[in-house]
Structure 1
Amino acid sequence: MSQEETVVLHWLNQSRAQRIVWLFEELGLKYEIVYYERDKNSKAPHALSEVHPLGKSPVVEIRSASGDVIKLAESGWIIQYFLRKYDQTDNLKGSSIDAQNEVSYFLHYTEGTLQSILDGLFTNHAAKTKAGYAARMYMAPCVKWIAQNYYKPKLLKNLNFLNGTITKQYEKYSKYIAGNSLSAADIILSFPLEIVFTRCDPMINKSLKTEYPDLYLYHQNIRQEHGWKQAAKKVRGFEDIIFGEEIV
């Protein structure tokens, strides 16, 4: 299917937007990136609020030849929209009905369950580390209890689930989370797993690479995908998370 529209991705460093760059690379789309960087307090710049009222990224603008503009926010919806319009051969949707159902599940699970736990864990950590000295004295025991008794068990339960899922996939001779080929499920999971394996250990006092070896191997395999590497090159100089373990 030919591309008759201009696609503009509003991209923010250390955000979920990198998955959309990877998606566009896999679909072979022509697209533009508008780059935004977080401030010293890790907040998104005000300029993003001028693109979308919530001031978040990713946001995609689709401009037709007639001048009409469609604006999409939320990673899952963006992925679904572009799969429906440009993945005509079902390369990323899943090669079977079962795989397609699994892909759809992970599009919702990743944002609705896994990412919400990570967001809570990081908010909890920020409360302990970024508050003033006097406040930290009182807050540290409280947020430590919350992390150890709420966020940590939830995160480990989810990582057990994902590790078990990919172990079963390995037994079927597949290195992907759903079906036998790269899918949108792998793309949407890439960001939270990047966070899990590069930033979460100090927060829960565990080596997650050691605890979940099959999931870590999956994470490493995904980083070797051609589309992932091409997407990484598009943000070199703007991003630090995805270059944290090795040079792409």
Structure 2
Amino acid sequence: MITVHHLNNSRSQRVLWLLEELGLDYEVQRYERDPKTSLAPASLRAVHPLGKSPVVTDGELTLAESGAIIEYLVDRHGQGRLVPAPGTPERLRYTYWLHYAEGSAMPPLLLSLIFARLPRGPMPFFVRPIARGISDKVMKTFVGPQLRLHLDYMESELGKATWFAGEQFSAADIQMSFPIEAAALRGGLGASRPKLAAWLERIHARPAYQRALEKGGPYEIIG
């Protein structure tokens, strides 16, 4: 039996969605973030040494990392579903977006979160204006331009096909959901990126996405 070690408001929501798309039986082991720090509980380290989510167990196998989990589940249990045929241009795009989601799209989003929180952190009152100045400078000169660059790139790529790998929905779209939802939460889409907004509407309307929300509980990306 596949078990998803599911942390609330986390990347593991994507794994639940994939399992629902594939129609597989699975169990959910729930973990809750610390309400003050938003960190995962220490009990997750009993499952995987890094103590982070997502983690799945399947028999004797324990596997972490969203991309690796998605590849494993599609290859082991997908029976050819949600992945383009080998040797096709769509398969190459599929592989690219599967890795791009965490390797390229998420770093500037994480930096945006860190520098947005920096001025609100505990510090002496006389240091706060300095922290705010540093944060504003980094956001203006580096993080903001990087975010716009990646969002514009994704918008243009969705102009080539309905889904990220091509005209068929694939597991690459599931993997891409977290960074794009995070960008939408932080106001990075807007009227200038209608294709990304329409893509979000399409994935949110999928029955399997809705079932995954029911299984995983309330879902709000930490922002």
Tell me which interval the TM-score lies in, with the shorter structure as reference length. Answer: over 0.9
The CA distance in 2 between the partners of 1:138 and 1:124, in whole Å, is 13
> Following TM superposition, by how much is the alpha carbon of 1:91 offset from its aligned partner in structure 2, in angstroms?
2.2
Q: Name 1:240's counterpart in structure 2.
A: 220
| 1:60 corresponding residue in structure 2 | 56
Query: Is structure 2 residue 196 aligned with structure 1 residue 215?
Result: yes
Pairwise CA distance, 1:194: 1.1
Corresponding pairs, count: 219
Q: Distance in 2 between matches of 1:21 and 1:154?
A: 30
Q: Residue 46 of structure 1: which of 18, 34, 42 is its match?
A: 42
Counterparts in 2 of 1:210 and 1:109: CA distance versus 1, 3 Å: same
Q: Which of 80, 99, 114 is matched with 1:123 structurally?
A: 114
The corresponding residue for 2:174 is 187
Runs of 5+ consecutive residues of structure 2 not aligned to the other structure = none
- Deviation by residue 1:53-75 (Cα, 9 ceiling, x = unmatched): 11110000111xxxxx1100000
Structure 2 residue aligned with 1:3: none
Q: Percent identity?
A: 35
1:33 aligned counterpart, secondary structure: strand
- 1:131 maps to a residue whose letter is P
Shift in Å, 1:241: 4.3
Measure the CA separation in 2 of the matches of 1:121 and 1:133.
Answer: 23
Match of 1:196 in 2: 183
Highest RCO, 1 vs 2 (Cα 8 Å, sep ≥ 6): 2
- Once residues 136 and 49 of structure 1 are traced to their aligned partners in structure 2, the CA distance between those partners, rounded to angstroms, is 35
CA contact 1:94–1:100 (8 Å) conserved in 2 = yes
Please give the per-residue CA displacement for 1:185-214, whole angstroms capped at 9, x wherever unaligned: 11001111111112x13xxxxx62222111
**Does the 8 A contact of 1:23 with 1:79 survive in 2?**
yes
Q: Which residue does 1:8 correspond to in 2?
A: 3
Q: TM-score, normalised by structure 2?
A: 0.92
1:24 aligns with 2:19: yes
Q: Deviations over 1:27-81 (max 9, x none)?
A: 1111111111111221111111221111110000111xxxxx1100000000111
Where does residue 71 of structure 1 map in the other structure? 62
CA contact (8 A) 1:60 1:72 kept: yes
CA–CA distance in 1 between the matches of 2:166 and 2:65? 24
Q: For residues 87-129 of structure 1, give each alpha carbon's deviation from its aligned partner in whole angstroms, at most 9, with x where no partner exists.
A: 22x2211257111111100111001010111111111112122
Q: CA deviation at 1:168?
A: 2.0
1:94 counterpart residue number: 84
Cα shift at 1:148: 1.3
The answer to whether the Cα contact below 8 Å between 1:20 and 1:75 also exists between their aligned partners in 2 is yes
Structure 1 alignment gaps of length 5 or more: 1-5, 64-68, 170-174, 202-206, 243-248
- The secondary structure found in structure 2 opposite 1:35 is strand
